[in-house]
Every structure is written in structure tokens, then in C-alpha cells.
Amino acid sequence: MTILIIEDDQRVAELIQRGLEEQGFAPTLAYDGLSGKKLALQNNYDLIITDIILPKLDGIDLCRQIRESKPDTPIIMLTALGTTDDKVEGFDAGADDYLVKPFEMRELLVRIRALLKRNNKTANSTGFILRFADLEMNLHTKIVKRDGTEISLTPKEFNLLEYMLQNPERVLSRVEIAEKVWDTHFDTGTNFIDVYINYLRKKIDREFDRKLIHTKSGMGFILKAE
């Protein structure tokens, strides 16, 4: 498995590199955003790890630009910024996971393996159209439509809706969503899952009389036609 590490702190970058090599991964290093972008677009990596604060091109813009050409490559963001707004910005840029510094190498490895496992399952999936009521998602073209009207979603909104479409009419707790969509443990001190549910509601339900995304107080959320 090839992994691109984009980190301007040489000590941190080399620590991650050694930790990955010890686990059998083949890491490549880049120390600024532009170099990282060039490598990411020229090569096919199984996963990309990038810091947010980078010289020449910051991690948020870097992630957006990589996503345009490599929509399916898993991306983990590393940063010292850990507020809900920071996480939402990273996820909106296309990150699949978000790890706040300082972190333990074993935690990073858990996140990496979870993303690689999920990505492999998606690549091997034979059913690429998900439907519920008048809502339709094409996993190949990444197009979402409701009643024939195309709806534009960010990558993380798409992933959240995909999981809800895979589990219709079942209450999904915040813990489950965090683990299955974000591949992380739910932090009760942040409300980013609620933020994304509200984003989806505005795009999926606001213009339609029949609401599909519902809150079960104290339990979580459910995709249900009412």
C-alpha cells in the first residue's frame, strides 16, 4: 500500500514515515503543499495524509484540488486545530478523516486501515445505485437526485447520505455515524455530526413537502418517508 505524507515538519513527517514502513506500507514524503499536489496528481496512492498548515499551498486548498482529479483516494488531515468549525472545513474540502495533533501512531494506523478497508469495499461493490422514496444516488458518477432534480453535495455530505441510504428506516446514533462515516470515535464535545445532518436537511428536504431525514430525540437520526 502506497501512502503520500504531506507535512512540513520534517521530524513529524519522518516519524510517520518510519511508523508506516514498520507496518509494511510504502510512504512517500512531501514537505510543502505544491510538491504534495504534484506527487498526488502524478501518482496513484492508496491513501494521502496531509497537514493543514503547509507552505506554498495550504492543506484545505490542496485537498480540494486533489479531490477534483482523485475523488476516491482516501485523505486524512493532520492539524493542531480541533474545533467543530475546523473539522467541518476539512471535511467540506474532501477529507475522509481528521486527526488532531499530538496523536499516537497506533491511532493513525487504526484510521488508515479503516479507510483502506472501506475504500476497498466500495471499489468492489457491484450495486452502484442507491434509492429511497424519490431520492437516488449514483455511486459511480457521484450524482444525487431527488424527484429528478440534481442536488450538489460536498464529499462528506455525500458519504453521510450514502450511509443513511444503505440503512433506511433504521435509527442511526451519533456514535455509529462517527464510526461508520468518519471512521472515528464520537467526541461528545463537538457537534459536527448535527451540523452535517442540518446541511443535508437543507439540501435534501427543504424544497420538498415530504421530509426524509428525521431526528429521534436522544437516539439519533433516521431516513424515513413521512
Domain boundaries, the chain: 2-123, 129-223
- Yes or no: say if 161 and 202 are a contact pair by the CB < 8 Å rule: no
**Residue 119 cell numbers, joined:** 475504500
**Which CATH number applies to 2-123: 3.40.50.2300, 3.30.9.10, 3.90.100.10, 3.40.50.720?**
3.40.50.2300
Which class is domain 129-223?
Answer: mainly alpha
Integer Cα distance of 205 and 144 in angstroms = 13
List per-residue pLDDT tens for the chain, 226 residues long.
789 999 999 999 999 999 999 888 889 999 999 999 999 998 888 899 999 889 999 988 999 899 888 888 899 998 877 677 777 877 888 888 888 888 889 889 988 988 887 766 554 444 578 888 889 998 878 899 998 899 999 888 998 999 999 888 889 998 888 888 876 665 655 688 899 999 999 999 998 888 999 999 888 999 988 7
Measuring CA to CA, which residue among 61, 139, 141, 57 is closest to residue 95? 61
Integer Cα distance of 103 and 88 in angstroms = 19
How many residues appear in the chain?
226
Task: Tell whether omega for the bond before 74 is within 30 degrees of 0, i.e. cis.
Answer: no
pTM of this prediction? Answer: 0.60
What residues have CB less than 8 Å from 99, skipping those under 6 apart?
76, 77, 78, 79, 107, 108, 111
